[in-house]
A = this chain, B = another copy of it.
Amino acid sequence: MSVSASRLRDRSQSTGGGAESAAPSGLPRVQVAQTPLARFEEYLQSKGLRNSDQRRVLLEHVFSRHSHFDADQLIEELPRRGAKGHVSRPTVYRTLKEFVDAGLLRCFQLDGRSVYEHDYGYPQHDHLYCSQCRTLIEFRSEELLRIREQVSAEHNFLVRSHRFIIQGVCADCRKRRQRRKQDLV
């Protein structure tokens, strides 16, 4: 096991639970036809896979709140080895891949590791990333999608997805910085 010192913080609202998800600030929630569980079971069916305890534990945990996380965080939040509800590291990795496959989670790379977030029933969005406190802040831009389509059309490119991350320093950290400056004076 490797307990990485660097944690990924989050600035998204937690979901109300059930078949509804929180949306980036100022945006309407999205109604979803089925719960993530129902959708996952459908996916397992269609692939001839089985609905094990471990998969249930992970699905339950991952969708119990809306946050960005990596494999290591997820593992630390779950029961330790030996305890009930524990899931081994390889199984966590394997299952996260299945969730992505099933359309439940989105995955992207940040600082060298894979970060996951809700996809199913959650509106498309992009991120501001504070390199100081490692917070991810969500935002939405229709204009960005327009650019995406236009550029792709110009290059006769078939779009599957995109990733837009603005890196810098968030409002909180800027305030903190200024305070520190004042303290030094």
- Taking Cβ atoms with an 8 Å cutoff, the residues of A that contact B are 109-110, 112, 128, 130-131, 137, 139, 141, 143-144, 147-148, 151-152, 154-171, 174
Contacts and interface: CB of A to CB of B under 8 A. Distances in A.
Contact of A128 (B143, B152, B168): B152
Copies in the complex: 2
Contact of A174 (B137, B143, B158, B164): B158
Given A137-B157, A167-B162, A170-B157, A147 B152 contact: no
Contacts of A156: 170-171, 174
Given A157-B128, A157-B170, A168-B160, A143 B147 contact: yes
A144 B150 CA distance: 12
A166 B139 contact: no
A168 B162 CA distance: 8
24 contacts: A109-B109, A128-B151, A128-B152, A130-B157, A137-B155, A137-B157, A143-B147, A147-B147, A156-B170, A156-B171, A156-B174, A157-B166, A157-B169, A157-B170, A157-B171, A158-B169, A160-B167, A160-B169, A162-B165, A162-B166, A163-B163, A163-B164, A163-B165, A163-B167
